[in-house]
Amino acid sequence: MRRILSIAKLLCVMAGVALCPPGASRAAPDAELAESARLQGLRQWAPAESLAHLALARAERATPADSNSLALALELLARGRQTQGLYRDTLVLEWGTRLVRIREASISRDPLALADAELLLSRILGGYERYGEAPSHLARARALRASRSAAIDSRSSDSLLAEVDLVSGQLLRRAGELANAEVELRRALTVHERFATSRTRLLGLVYSELGGVLVGLQRLDEAQPILLRAAETWQAVGAAGASQLAGTFGSLSSLEKNRGDMAQSVEWLERAVEASERLLGENARSTLIHRLNLGSRLIEFGDHVAARRRLEPLVTPLEALFGAGHSTTETARSMLGIACFADGDTVSALRYLAASLAAMENRPGNHAAGVAFALQWQAVILRDRGDLEGSRRAVELALEQCRPLGATEGPMRVDLELLKMSVLAKQGALTPLATEVAEVSALVDSFELTGTPVEARARVAQAIALRRLGAPDSAWKTALAADAMSRAQMAFNASRLPDRQALGLSVQWSEALPQLTDLVRTRDPGAAAIAWDRSQRWRGWWNRERELRRPPQGGLDTARTGAHARWVAAERHYAERIVSDADSMRHPSVSARLERARAAAEQAEGRYRATEARGGMPRPASEPRLDEILAHLAPDEALVAFAEAVDDTASRLVAFVAHGAPARVELVSLGPLRTARATSARWLRALSEPPSARASAAERELRVLGRACRERLWDPLAAVLADARTIHVVSGPLDDLPWLALPVGAREYLVDTNRTIGVIEAERDLLTPRAATSNGRAITFGGPAFDQAPATGAAPLLALASRGAANPCMPFPRLEALPAATAEALDVAATLGTGPDHALVLTGAEASEGSFKREAPGHTLLHVATHGVVLGDTCATAAPGRRGVGGLTATSSRTSKRRRPVAEPIAEADKPSPWLARRVWLAFAGANHAGESNDPDGNDGMLTAEEVVTLDLRGVEWVVLSACHSGAGADWSKEGALGMRRAFHLAGARTVIASHWSIEDQAAREWMRALYQARAAGALGGAEAVAKACRATLEARRQSRRTTHPFYWAAFTATGP
């Protein structure tokens, strides 16, 4: 009898929530059943199932039939797979149904056994998402347990019924009936809180489920303490509660996402993945689900490339667990389709979405939310392809699926209505459009979404609709309100998010700006200043945050110091992986390894940022207003900020311009954005190519392209700029054009007009005090010994990685020596002299990556003359004497980086690759052996932007990067170019002078000599010194009758105040 009861207790443990009363009787199981039950309790699923199959087969062969052993074997088999969530086939359902039939035959002897079987079958039906079939089994389980209440003590009786309430609440929650789920769960909570000491696991389940229900009902303040209690409970349970602990973290992530706190949302998800991986394993069901959620969150950040990499490996294992058509499997497939679409791969996107819809159609169950989700994205693609009728039909079908779900899918319902609104606007269906505007407002209120990112998205869409309805005043007010909401949410998140995520989120949440900018045309003259002020408040989030990112000083705050050290270590490990795996990034295992390193670096960065926030680091008291900034303009200065203006049909390029004292603000229209970018791209391509033997003909052809660019982009500005001599261009769309190379007249260039044009990261940079002195220490790196062998050797990682599918541009060709770069470093030192600006010169083997990291902090001027190595999408090898290898097309072609929110994704034509720009590396000593070093600090001879941002370069006035493509970067609408230049600014450098193209070695030396001569003559501002260097170099070439092609003198631009 003791053995029988021990088996029963083991079954209770496996069930997680089943309560077997003292004295419960089961027929004696055989040895296989006992061992199978023990192994299930240890979560050793495979051997447990094998033994249960053996016991089942023996029970089926027995004469007479051993119905009790048969039932126990079926229960072990069904509960084992149900606990693991294995629903890929119908076996679990068949076992559960058969178990109920057997228990029915013996109901008179053991009604509680039948109740247990009915409850298990209810769970199984929920796992198959056949929620409509579960209530009858739950009702029967409740009735059977209630009928036995008189025979057992009240505590056991209440617990038996409370378990039914719990299972009922779980299934109602998954079916979307949140109000009914709350009733059931609160009834269970009342009982289980009385038995908290003895029924800890059950109490944790109730807390987790009830908290999740309240999150779905948008009662976030009620949900948070309940979920935190659940987390405490599962932490006390230990490894046995790992899956539930991770699930609770997932619910907390959803709660913070609904609040708009994306930083905390991601942190909870990362904790969920970490807990699940540590306690259950990398391929556990819980781990896979939370990885799926994390990939979905990346899409919301606009990081669709990383999202696609994370989602692609998940579909197959999830399908193996749940089967095709299950909501979890199809969510992964649909999310992967969304990532593909956002990445410009419409063919794959449609394939994934169609496969998801077909799978759900072929599998019984309630798939309303999943079907609505897939239809929503099909509608988006059809709309962007111009099939408005098809898109409208798909939206209506999605709404039919979504409406009955109520508050459970409130945000999706609102997003569907917004999508419908955009289709109606494009169709010109004004009457239903007006109805839809009112409907959206009502839904936001009814679903309690006020103040969330969903409301901000809704207001942006309503502004567009109101404009289409001929109500520009209402559209203007609505867009202003939407911008204010989004900016407040972004301010809340910016201080704690890693760089990459904050950039993506800022683009997602600033969608009102293009609408505001376009609406300026319908307003009075003062509207331009209002729209510009809103734009500049968004611009350069990290300009305000970068001081807090830098290493803590003084060493007093050990928590911050430790968090910073961990971030630096993770970031440098990621940088090392980038270089060592560069030739094999397309191989799945290498890509996954690189993605893990990136995620670890971002997680460490986010945690460092969190320590800053918790430590009460001082933050700016207020943002500067535009009028305060413009008051700092001198009479001969002007400020120009390019922006995108969008209505419901097209995007235009415009420029905000302020000139004079007091400054006057004007908005200058520059035509279609696509045309402006195409015109400038053609000119840039021609500029970056060295002239052939027929240099004069090449220069004439270039001037034709340059004239077209000038007429479209500069001449309209010149009419407003009048006599401004110093022009500050704000980083953003088209910020880094080499303006001074625009042709003027028959033979001259804009540089000949004695204008100074420089780039600043944000308007507020005008408030930065101007440099007053050149005093300080300088350090120059030139002509590194690229063939220098690493100090310690290991198997070449590049060679090992090349066994996979190779990057077409890797391995990089051998870097040739740069004699002029060595001479250039000495030239710079000689020009600076032996005074306060005297330079430390490091060349050859001394010009190492480790030396740069050690020596750069504490100097006021850094000069690097070397190769720039570009991991881009062209594979051009630099000609002899050029400082560069590789090339960029997508990065430098300035394709649109404007993002839409998740409900409103980017069109197929917008195929951004913003992080490709980060792959511009500076080569130091040993670069030809990159990947062979096992230096603990990751010094492999290639300095990446990821490593630069970890340095403390506060006090550095000038960084001069005399290397190819060192200024390359992808522009985002408010943050400017992402790349090596921005990395140095984030590290604290004031001014960065970098190149647009692969420069000729000797020409770079000549230009740099002119740059430092200008500095020595008093041109301490980077833009002023660059303009004087360009003029001096151009004049010298004219005097010596050499070609005046801008390739030789216009490659460099200064950014910074």
Span 690-702, mean pLDDT? 84
The domain total for the chain is: 4
Q: In what order do the strands lie in the sheet with 868-870?
A: 874-877, 884-887, 868-870, 920-923, 942-943
List the single range of 125-134, 495-504, 770-779, 998-1007 with lowest mean pLDDT.
770-779
Q: Could you give the percent of the chain with pLDDT greater than 70?
A: 77
Residue 730 sits in the same domain as residue 781 = no
Write the pLDDT tens digit of every residue in 909-933: 333 333 333 467 888 888 888 766 6
Residue 41 sits in the same domain as residue 151 = yes
Contacts of residue 466, defined as CB under 8 A and 6 or more positions apart, other chains included, come to 437, 472, 474, 475, 478
CATH no. for residue 859? Answer: 3.40.50
Task: Say what the alpha-carbon torsion angle 279, 282, 288, 292 is, to the nearest 10 degrees.
Answer: 110
- How much of the chain is helix, strand and coil, in % rounded to 5? 60, 10, 30
Q: What is the pLDDT of residue 247?
A: 92
- DSSP lists the bridge partners of residue 923 as 942
Span 640-650, mean pLDDT? 84
Write the pLDDT tens digit of every residue in 234-260: 988 887 788 899 999 999 999 988 887
Span 70-85, mean pLDDT? 91
Distance CA 306, CA 933 (A): 28
Per-residue HEC secondary structure of 204-239 comes to: HHHHHHHHHHHHHCCCHHHHHHHHHHHHHHHHHHCH
Q: Is the pLDDT of residue 934 over 70?
A: no
Q: Where are the alpha helices (DSSP H) in 834-878?
A: 849-855
Between the ranges 58-72, 97-111, 207-221, 876-890, where is the mean pLDDT highest?
207-221
Q: What is the pLDDT of residue 615?
A: 53
CATH no. for residue 179? Answer: 1.25.40.10
Among 209, 229, 249, give the residue marking a domain's end.
229
Q: Is the pLDDT of residue 434 over 90?
A: yes
579's enclosing H/E stretch is helix 558-580
Residue 712 sits in the same domain as residue 782 = no
Residue 7 sits in the same domain as residue 131 = yes
Span 1005-1027, mean pLDDT? 88
Contacts of residue 349, defined as CB under 8 A and 6 or more positions apart, other chains included, come to 337, 338, 340, 341, 377, 381
Mean pLDDT, rounded, of the chain: 80
Between the ranges 330-344, 880-894, 995-1009, where is the mean pLDDT highest?
330-344
Q: What is the pLDDT of residue 807?
A: 38
Kindly state whether residue 957 falls inside one of the protein's structural domains: yes
List the single range of 5-19, 92-106, 458-472, 1026-1040 with lowest mean pLDDT.
5-19
pLDDT band at 84 (very low <50, low <70, confident <90, very high): confident
Q: What is the pLDDT of residue 437?
A: 93
Residue 732 sits in the same domain as residue 799 = no
Q: Is the pLDDT of residue 70 over 70?
A: yes
Q: What is the pLDDT of residue 1002?
A: 82
Kindly state whether residue 317 falls inside one of the protein's structural domains: no
Contacts of residue 49, defined as CB under 8 A and 6 or more positions apart, other chains included, come to 36, 76, 77, 80, 81
CA nearest to 718, candidates 763, 759, 665, 657: 657
Distance CA 898, CA 975 (A): 11
Distance CA 434, CA 9 (A): 63
Residue 132 sits in the same domain as residue 44 = yes
Q: Is the pLDDT of residue 117 over 90?
A: yes
Among 702, 734, 765, give the residue marking a domain's end.
765
Q: What is the pLDDT of residue 409?
A: 79
Q: Is the pLDDT of residue 625 over 50?
A: yes
Residue 752 sits in the same domain as residue 834 = no
Span 436-444, mean pLDDT? 92
Handedness of CA 719, 720, 723, 728 (dihedral sign): negative
Q: Is the pLDDT of residue 728 over 50?
A: yes
Q: What is the pLDDT of residue 512?
A: 87
Span 328-343, mean pLDDT? 92
Kindly state whether residue 28 falls inside one of the protein's structural domains: yes
- Cβ contact 843:829 at 8 Å: no
Q: Which residue has the higher pLDDT, 122 or 567?
A: 122
Strand spans (E) along 569-695? 637-646, 651-659, 664-672
Among 198, 229, 260, give the residue marking a domain's end.
229
CA nearest to 96, candidates 110, 113, 115, 79: 79
Q: Which residue has the higher pLDDT, 836 or 654?
A: 654
Distance CA 294, CA 276 (A): 13
- DSSP lists the bridge partners of residue 778 as 839, 861
- Cβ contact 595:309 at 8 Å: yes
Write the pLDDT tens digit of every residue in 537-576: 887 565 666 555 566 655 555 766 677 677 666 766 665 5
Residue 631 sits in the same domain as residue 519 = no
Q: What is the pLDDT of residue 213?
A: 94
Kindly state whether residue 368 falls inside one of the protein's structural domains: no
Q: Is the pLDDT of residue 167 over 90?
A: yes
Residue 73 sits in the same domain as residue 172 = yes
Q: Which residue has the higher pLDDT, 649 or 60?
A: 60
Span 938-962, mean pLDDT? 84
CA nearest to 717, candidates 681, 776, 757: 757
Residue 651 sits in the same domain as residue 713 = yes
Q: What is the pLDDT of residue 501?
A: 74
- DSSP lists the bridge partners of residue 659 as 638, 664
Q: What is the pLDDT of residue 503?
A: 74
Q: What is the pLDDT of residue 440?
A: 93
pLDDT band at 790 (very low <50, low <70, confident <90, very high): low
Could you tell me the maximum CA-CA distance found in the chain, to the nearest angstrom? 112
Write the pLDDT tens digit of every residue in 457-484: 999 999 999 989 999 999 999 999 999 8
Q: Could you give the percent of the chain with pLDDT greater than 90?
A: 32
Residue 820 sits in the same domain as residue 701 = no
Span 300-304, mean pLDDT? 79
Kindly state whether residue 381 falls inside one of the protein's structural domains: no
Kindly state whether residue 882 falls inside one of the protein's structural domains: yes
Q: Is the pLDDT of residue 719 over 70?
A: yes
Q: What is the pLDDT of residue 544?
A: 63
Containing domain of residue 206, as a range? 2-229
Q: What is the pLDDT of residue 367?
A: 87
Q: What is the pLDDT of residue 888?
A: 31
Residue 858 sits in the same domain as residue 892 = yes
- DSSP lists the bridge partners of residue 970 as 978
List the single range of 462-476, 695-709, 725-739 with lowest mean pLDDT.
725-739
Q: Is the pLDDT of residue 889 over 60?
A: no
Q: What is the pLDDT of residue 542?
A: 55
Q: Which residue has the higher pLDDT, 734 or 634?
A: 634
Q: What is the pLDDT of residue 740?
A: 92
Contacts of residue 1039, defined as CB under 8 A and 6 or more positions apart, other chains included, come to none
Kindly state whether residue 269 falls inside one of the protein's structural domains: no
Q: In what order do the strands lie in the sheet with 756-760?
A: 664-672, 651-659, 637-646, 726-730, 756-760, 1052-1055, 991-995, 958-962, 861-865, 778-784, 839-844
Kindly state whether residue 687 falls inside one of the protein's structural domains: yes
- Cβ contact 335:311 at 8 Å: yes
